[in-house]
């Protein structure tokens, strides 16, 4: 995306958005209700024309590809599915539009139904599907052309815990095969379990473009460790400038990543009984980022990603002493 801008009437809903979405990653697109996520996704898909700027998929506008469906699959809404069609019937007309050779269509439908766990429901009418099953069917339709890019608008909405777990695994596997996943949500905590990178917008403007690790670090993520002799680890972590709060057999290290603390403990030969990441402030960071007023010009990625002030892991651990 380069300078993507769109107004409806006199309201600018997408404002000079510039960011990249990379293959091999699950990228979350986050913003409060009305921030301009759906409008942006529709511009990427060529369903809405931008006033200015460009949205390229695979180096060119999606519509400029010979078979757009083979490049990007999308799930924007399940509300427009025809209720009288069967699951297989719905996929059949999508497959017919996708350019897949007639001899291959039946096989491809069987494959994707298997992939999304709907094989046993292939003859069921859409009107009788649960919301979660519709979402799965929507995902099946999005991947039926075997696209390199998957674009999903609020796919976690309305899913039950089992459906969320399924979708999370599915999207990660899809990206792990070198493909691109870009999906929107207005809930950071849900997204944090699925995405490894996030683009955050507010009022159509970019406020952050960063990895989940960076976001966690900004939320003053704490690492809690338990062990009989933590003193060398505590000393070493304090020497790096981190705040360490200690209890009798527990230490809470603010602003650290679990893997860094783990490496340090191995290096120092400190035995740990438990090592745990505490994420008290993730949603707070999101609220903070999307509340922060942005300046008139568009931001450099991450330029407004200031640390949240109200994320204090220590508050969750009732430590006995606190020291720097």
Ligand X SMILES: Nc1ncnc2c1ncn2[C@@H]1O[C@H](COP(=O)(O)OP(=O)(O)OP(=O)(O)O)[C@@H](O)[C@H]1O
Binding to ligand X by CB under 6 A, coded x per residue (else -) over 35-64, reads xxxxx-------------------------
Min dist. Cβ of residue 40 to ligand X (A): 7
Q: Which is nearer to ligand X, 37 or 179 (CB)?
A: 37
Only one of the segments 18-26, 33-41, 126-134, 299-307 lies at the binding site for ligand X (rule: CB under 6 A); that segment is 33-41
Residues in the chain: 324
Asked if residue 205 lies in contact with residue 299, where contact means CB atoms within 8 angstroms, the answer is yes
Binding to ligand X by CB under 6 A, coded x per residue (else -) over 174-193, reads ------------x-------
Neighbours of 237 (CB within 10 A): 24
Is residue 33 close enough to count as binding ligand X by CB under 6 A? yes
Q: Which is nearer to ligand X, 277 or 298 (CB)?
A: 298
Asked if residue 9 lies in contact with residue 198, where contact means CB atoms within 8 angstroms, the answer is no
Q: Which is nearer to ligand X, 53 or 227 (CB)?
A: 53
Among 34, 99, 178, 307, binds ligand X (CB under 6 A): 34
Residue 283: C-alpha distances to residues 22, 175, 191, 254 (Å): 24, 25, 10, 17
d(CA 158, CA 144): 23
Asked if residue 204 lies in contact with residue 51, where contact means CB atoms within 8 angstroms, the answer is no
Among 13, 149, 230, 308, binds ligand X (CB under 6 A): 13
Q: Which is nearer to ligand X, 32 or 58 (CB)?
A: 32
d(CA 229, CA 243): 18
Pairing between β-strand 2-8 and β-strand 205-211 as defined by DSSP bridges: unpaired
Q: Which is nearer to ligand X, 137 or 200 (CB)?
A: 200
d(CA 25, CA 167): 15
Min dist. Cβ of residue 44 to ligand X (A): 12
Asked if residue 13 lies in contact with residue 42, where contact means CB atoms within 8 angstroms, the answer is no
Among 16, 19, 25, 31, binds ligand X (CB under 6 A): 31
Q: Which is nearer to ligand X, 24 or 34 (CB)?
A: 34
d(CA 293, CA 8): 21
Is residue 290 close enough to count as binding ligand X by CB under 6 A? no
Residues forming beta bridges with residue 253, ordered by sequence position: 223, 244
Min dist. Cβ of residue 144 to ligand X (A): 25
Only one of the segments 27-35, 55-63, 243-251, 259-267 lies at the binding site for ligand X (rule: CB under 6 A); that segment is 27-35
Min dist. Cβ of residue 307 to ligand X (A): 24
Residues forming beta bridges with residue 125, ordered by sequence position: 86
d(CA 216, CA 208): 13
Only one of the segments 28-36, 93-101, 142-150, 303-311 lies at the binding site for ligand X (rule: CB under 6 A); that segment is 28-36
Q: Which is nearer to ligand X, 226 or 298 (CB)?
A: 298
Q: Which is nearer to ligand X, 29 or 166 (CB)?
A: 29
Q: Which is nearer to ligand X, 31 or 73 (CB)?
A: 31
Is residue 8 close enough to count as binding ligand X by CB under 6 A? yes
Q: What is the DSSP letter of 254?
A: E
C-alpha torsion sign, points 158, 133, 26, 149: negative
Number of residues that bind ligand X (CB under 6 A): 11
| Largest Cα span, the chain | 71
Binding site for ligand X (CB under 6 A): 8, 13, 31, 33-39, 186
């Amino acid at each position: 995306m380069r300078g993507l801008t769109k107004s409806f009437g006199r309201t600018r809903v997408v404002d000079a958005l510039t960011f990249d979405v990379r293959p091999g990653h699950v990228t979350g697109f986050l913003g409060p209700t009305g921030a301009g996520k759906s409008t942006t996704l529709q511009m990427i898909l060529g369903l809405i024309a931008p006033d200015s700027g460009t949205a390229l998929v695979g180096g060119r506008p999606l519509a400029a590809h010979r078979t757009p469906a083979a490049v990007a699959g999308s799930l924007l809404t399940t509300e427009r599915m025809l209720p009288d069609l069967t699951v297989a019937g719905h996929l059949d007309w999508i497959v017919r539009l996708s350019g897949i050779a007639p001899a291959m269509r039946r096989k491809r439908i069987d494959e994707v139904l298997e992939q999304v766990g709907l094989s046993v429901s292939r003859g069921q009418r859409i009107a009788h599907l649960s919301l979660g099953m519709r979402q799965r069917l929507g995902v099946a339709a999005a991947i039926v052309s075997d696209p390199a890019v998957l674009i999903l608008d609020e796919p976690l909405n309305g899913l039950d815990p089992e459906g969320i777990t399924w979708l999370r695994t599915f999207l990660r596997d899809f990206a792990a095969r070198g493909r691109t996943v870009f999906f929107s949500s207005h809930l950071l905590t849900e997204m944090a379990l699925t995405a490894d990178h996030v683009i955050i917008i507010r009022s159509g403007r970019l406020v952050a473009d960063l990895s989940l690790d960076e976001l966690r670090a900004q939320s003053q993520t704490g690492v809690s460790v338990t062990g009989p002799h933590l003193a060398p680890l505590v000393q070493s972590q304090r020497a790096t400038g981190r705040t360490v709060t200690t209890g009798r057999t527990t230490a809470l290290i603010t602003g650290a990543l679990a893997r860094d603390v783990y490496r340090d403990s191995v290096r120092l030969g400190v035995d740990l009984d438990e090592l745990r990441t505490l994420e008290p402030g993730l949603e707070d960071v999101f609220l903070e980022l999307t509340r922060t007023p942005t300046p008139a010009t568009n931001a450099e990625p991450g330029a407004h990603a200031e640390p949240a002030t109200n994320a204090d892991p220590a508050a969750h651990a009732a430590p006995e002493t606190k020291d720097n």
